[in-house]
A and B are shown apart, each in its own frame.
Chain A
Amino acid sequence: MKLKSLLFIALSGITTVVNADKLRIATEGAYPPFNNIDSSGELVGFDVEIARALCKQMERDCELVAQDWDGIIPSLLNNKYDVIVASMSITDERKEKIDFTDPYYSNYLSVIASGHDVSMNNLGKKNIGAQRSTIGSQWVEDEFGSRASINLYDTLPAAFSDLKAGRIDAVIADYLPATEWLNENEGYIFIADKIDIGDSIGIGIRKGEDELRSALNKALEGILKKGVYEKISQKYFSTNIY
């Protein structure tokens, strides 16, 4: 009897998880100022607010979850959630596995180092840090080869903390998070601030969900028109990054 009721509780728990009406959105939660977990455990950041604004525009209930970057695409494919709003670059490799909406902002790469002995000319011979599975890490490997001294980290803050510890000479990061980090950490400079690799950031969904994609695209258009996007962007970056 006891076992039966326990089983019932467990099963009812499962059914609430797969509630079909709620749109489940994943973000990384370790990528300030785009997505981050604040001291009270809440997800905050540009991506998070954009996601909420999109839900409001679509008039749908949403549930936001944090997911490690490494597993963010596999978990989407395994149906753990339906949408990725996590500042994900639209790349050909990813497009083979998932679909993207229209881009919601453009990204540039930056190189940050502690001093002037590092330059774009000798970068290939230095110890370089980047976040694994990002467009930055791919750019570095394509540029200098997979056998260059490249350290790959699970999160961007981990790469920055190694730069501070002095184990690496430079970090490759996306422009806006890099700017944010530079504002808070003295003694570091941009070696290159806006490397344009034609990178656009999109919202990731499973392949074949065209209905969801057009709904998200329409919602994106809506929040851009209404000025909601601009307001959120101004709040985080004091400029419109679209």
Chain B
Amino acid sequence: MYLDLKYRLSDAVCSVSTLPNIESISSYCGRYIDGFIVTIELMLTTCLCGFILAIGIVAARVGKVAPLRWLAYIFSYVFRGTPLLVQLWVFYYGIGGLGAETLGPLWVFFSSAWAVGFLVLTLNHSAYASEILRGGIVNIDRGNADAAYTIGMSKIQALRRILLPQALRISWPAYGNELVLVLKGSALISTISVMDLMGQTRTIFARNYDLNAYAVAAILYLFLAGTISFFIYCVERRLNKPYR
């Protein structure tokens, strides 16, 4: 159902598009748009889930419970300290190679290349995002939290109403940067057989051996990065409104 919709959209785009009028490229329009949609899919889902996860990690890192604090620290240390490519291969071929029986219910996350790509990108993104957000929180004057507690807010309330909104404002530009990095990092999932924009491009190149194939992909990535930057800019303006 969803898949049908996706392919319809892709066909519609190609029927009106004017991709470079080079025969060896234009005949692959469907592939490009199919891959483009997969990349957007992954971008949206990983950023959303990664952000939610990041808030949990931040809460653990600035919280009072020592074991949780250590766990959160180790998590972000491991995911920020190893290359994304290594993480993908460890999860896909390493852990995923154990098979459905050994992994039990966890197999959902390993059953397809897309699922592993989503899982690893989400974990990776949440590790970086949590550090960025934590930086924002640490930079808020201590008095804000004290004032919140004084008027009777709980820890969660103070985090949600006072600290996170301010932390978000401070860390938003760095976070925007991280979103673009997720986009570029997502190209690596083509190595575990996901047909994202990069995966489709490599397959196109394998057929026509025309280096323009990569140029088209680069333009599409630039377009996406530009869209993300514009989104970041709009949100930044909104966040800064009360301070101008």
Contact = CB atoms under 8 A, between A and B. Distances in A.
B93 A74 contact: no
Given A73-B209, A94-B209, A97-B209, A132 B203 contact: yes
B199 interface: yes
B30 interface: yes
Given A147-B7, A154-B191, A138 B207 contact: yes
B34 interface: yes
A146 B193 contact: no
A18 B170 CA distance: 54
A165 B209 contact: no
Interface stretch (B52-60, B96-104, B219-227): B96-104
Classify the secondary structure of B's interface with A: helix
B203 A152 contact: yes
Interface string A148-177: 000111100010011011110000000000
Interface string B188-220: 000101010001001101111101000000000
Contacts of A70: 202, 205-206
B144 interface: no
Interface residues of B, number: 26
A206 to B, nearest CB: 13
B112 A167 contact: yes
Nearest to A162: B193
A93 B112 CA distance: 31
Nearest to B107: A166
Nearest to B200: A146
A129 interface: yes
A185 interface: no
Nearest to B206: A133
Given A151-B193, A161-B93, A162-B193, A132 B99 contact: no
B211 to A, nearest CB: 8
Contacts of A74: 209, 211
A152 B193 contact: yes
Contacts of A132: 202-203, 206
B111 interface: yes
A132 B193 CA distance: 9
B203 A158 contact: no
B31 interface: yes
Interface in B27-66: 30-31, 34
Contacts of A161: 93, 97
In order of increasing CB-CB distance, the 8 nearest A-B pairs are: A133-B206, A151-B193, A97-B209, A165-B97, A166-B100, A153-B193, A166-B99, A165-B99
Interface of A: 70, 73-74, 93-94, 96-97, 129, 132-133, 137-138, 146-147, 151-154, 158, 161-162, 164-167
18 contacts: A70-B206, A73-B209, A74-B209, A74-B211, A93-B207, A96-B209, A129-B193, A133-B203, A146-B30, A147-B7, A147-B34, A151-B193, A152-B203, A158-B193, A161-B97, A164-B97, A164-B99, A165-B110
